[in-house]
């Protein structure tokens, strides 16, 4: 195909005459020159209105790959507000939806197509005003979109031309699958459907069979490794009781850089954020799924604009987010599987010529996880950053003994850490029975292990 030949061998400017000149101007203003491989491979089919299943590594440019043809195809159809909704883009998290929406707005800077972000956590009254005016492109999360399809009077998608399912594997996690099935029942059968995902598994294939019609499958893979070659990644071994002092030393070592630290639970984020921000005077932000939408949005925007600093987060920030110039990814708590490991480290070394670093902290009993990652074509070096400073542990223990607020946060974080460990699906490597609970409590500043009610602990409690 001519468009594909142009893109594989040249740059976006060579598409002059093939797509709307205003769209090309927006692409140029974003300092985008040469398309990535997933963009070059998928754009020709998407511009022709074909259904697509696109698979590529995280950070490969999938967002632009679907936004450009969405805009171009609606322009060719002469869409205006009176035509209603022509495209819906579904994202698994509010942060990813916001990021997609921000890129969309930049592409539409010279184009008269209306767009809106409709996600949970925002006031529905605001949505209703926008929907009444007419929105050509909606970026949404499944729950809020289904709510409007079911309950908002005069909101229909009868004129829908395209549905985009972004990060499809994440969309299909617990709770979302039934939403998407119901959403599909409200949409016209005759439409273009685009499915993008970093990984394609059985659930994604089942969704594709239900939602797509004769799709073109495009997979950009690397037989040698599962992460980008510009990512330097390794692991550190630390006894469980020295974890927090290791983190302190690590953050001090890279304090002038931009860093994301992943924790297994919201409560662990809260405790570590409080300790490092207030008592260690570190420049840290925090984001997790139990915060208000306004706080999450503010934190996300702040970290995007920051040149340096640290973001403490859960896996709510692991998928699809394109935060500029992240230097380091620290996995303080283990991911649930290799796929989640890949998504976490995918927040750095994004785009052409970008470089990044990543490190995962493991207990000695967990080192076999490195061999498991190797089988998944993820290769780690062993790092040693030296012994952590004892005075930080002493300071934390003193604070826990005398600070009631921090002690409460620490206890909740400790219990949630144990719950996550108990529920970890890879029990051969992350087995709670191999965990010394008293030493684990020391990493949260406790001289004496807090009471653990195992009957309660090992239920599916909120973490």
**Domain total of the chain:** 2
CA distance 216 to 211: 13
Predicted pLDDT of residue 372: 92
Residue 69 lies in a domain: yes
Three-state DSSP state, 17:
coil
Q: Residues 398-433: pLDDT tens digits?
A: 999 998 999 999 999 999 999 999 999 998 899 888
Q: Which range among 213-222, 250-259, 348-357 shows the weakest confidence by mean pLDDT?
A: 348-357
Same domain, 330 and 370: yes
Q: Residues 11-47: pLDDT tens digits?
A: 888 888 889 999 999 999 998 888 888 998 999 999 9
Same domain, 262 and 301: yes
Residue 136: CB atoms within 10 Å? 24
Predicted pLDDT of residue 54: 93
Predicted pLDDT of residue 196: 93
Which residue among 219, 253, 276 closes a domain? Answer: 219
Buried b (16+ CB within 10 A) or exposed e, 88-117: bbbbbbbbbbbbbbeebeebbeebebbbbb
Residue 249 lies in a domain: yes
Which residue among 219, 250, 270 closes a domain? Answer: 219
Predicted pLDDT of residue 52: 96
Mean pLDDT taken over the chain: 90
Indicate which CATH number applies to the domain containing 341.
Answer: 3.40.50.300
Buried b (16+ CB within 10 A) or exposed e, 310-326: bbbbbbbbbbbbbbeeb
Residue 226 lies in a domain: no
Residue 376: CB atoms within 10 Å? 15
Same domain, 361 and 282: yes
Residue 336 lies in a domain: yes
Residue 462 lies in a domain: no
Predicted pLDDT of residue 184: 96
Same domain, 155 and 24: yes
Same domain, 124 and 239: no
pTM of the model: 0.77
Mean pLDDT of 217-234: 82
CA distance 173 to 142: 12
137 sits in which H/E element:
strand 137-140
CB contact set of 192 (below 8 Å; sequence gap of 6+): 46, 49, 50, 51, 73, 161, 162, 163
The gap between the terminal CA atoms of the chain, to the nearest Å, is 51
Residue 434 structural domain:
231-457
């Amino acid at each position: 195909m001519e468009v594909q030949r142009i893109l594989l061998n040249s740059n976006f400017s060579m598409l002059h005459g093939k797509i709307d000149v205003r769209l090309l101007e927006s692409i140029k203003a974003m300092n985008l020159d040469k398309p990535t491989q997933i963009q070059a491979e998928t754009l020709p089919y998407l511009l022709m209105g074909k259904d697509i299943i696109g698979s590529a590594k995280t950070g490969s440019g999938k967002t632009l790959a679907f936004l450009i043809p969405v805009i171009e195809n609606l322009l060719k159809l002469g869409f205006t507000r009176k035509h209603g909704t022509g495209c819906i883009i579904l994202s698994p998290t509010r942060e990813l939806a916001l990021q997609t929406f921000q890129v969309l707005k930049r592409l539409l800077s010279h184009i008269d197509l209306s767009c809106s972000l409709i996600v949970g956590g925002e006031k529905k009254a605001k949505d209703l005003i926008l929907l009444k005016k007419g929105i050509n492109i909606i970026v949404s999360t499944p729950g809020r979109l289904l709510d409007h399809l079911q309950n908002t009077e005069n909101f229909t998608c009868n004129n829908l031309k395209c549905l985009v399912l972004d990060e499809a594997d994440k969309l299909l996690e617990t709770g979302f699958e039934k939403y998407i099935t119901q959403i599909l029942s409200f949409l016209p059968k005759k439409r273009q459907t685009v499915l993008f995902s970093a990984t394609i598994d059985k659930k994604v294939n089942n969704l594709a069979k239900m939602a797509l019609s004769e799709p073109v499958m495009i997979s950009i893979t690397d037989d040698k490794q599962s992460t980008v070659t510009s990512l330097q990644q390794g692991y550190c071994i630390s006894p469980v009781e020295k974890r927090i002092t290791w983190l302190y030393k690590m953050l001090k070592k890279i304090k002038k850089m931009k860093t994301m630290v992943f924790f297994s639970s919201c409560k662990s984020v809260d405790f570590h954020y409080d300790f490092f921000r207030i008592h260690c005077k570190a420049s840290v932000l925090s984001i997790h799924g139990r915060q208000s939408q306004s706080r999450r949005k503010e934190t996300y925007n702040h970290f995007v604009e920051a040149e340096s600093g640290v973001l403490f987060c859960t896996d709510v920030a692991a998928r699809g987010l394109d935060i500029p110039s992240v230097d380091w990814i620290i996995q303080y708590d283990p991911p649930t599987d290799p796929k989640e490991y890949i998504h976490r480290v995918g927040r750095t070394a994004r785009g052409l010529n970008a470089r990044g670093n990543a490190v995962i902290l493991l207990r000695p009993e967990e080192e076999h996880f490195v061999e498991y990652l190797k089988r998944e074509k993820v290769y780690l070096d062993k790092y040693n950053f030296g012994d952590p400073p004892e005075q930080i542990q002493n300071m934390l223990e003193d604070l826990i003994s005398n600070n009631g607020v921090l002690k409460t946060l620490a206890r909740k974080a400790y219990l949630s850490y144990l719950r996550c460990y108990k529920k970890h699906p890879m029990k051969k490597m992350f087995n709670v029975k191999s965990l010394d609970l008293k030493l684990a409590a020391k990493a949260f500043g406790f001289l004496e292990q807090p009471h653990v009610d195992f009957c309660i602990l090992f239920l599916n409690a909120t973490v």
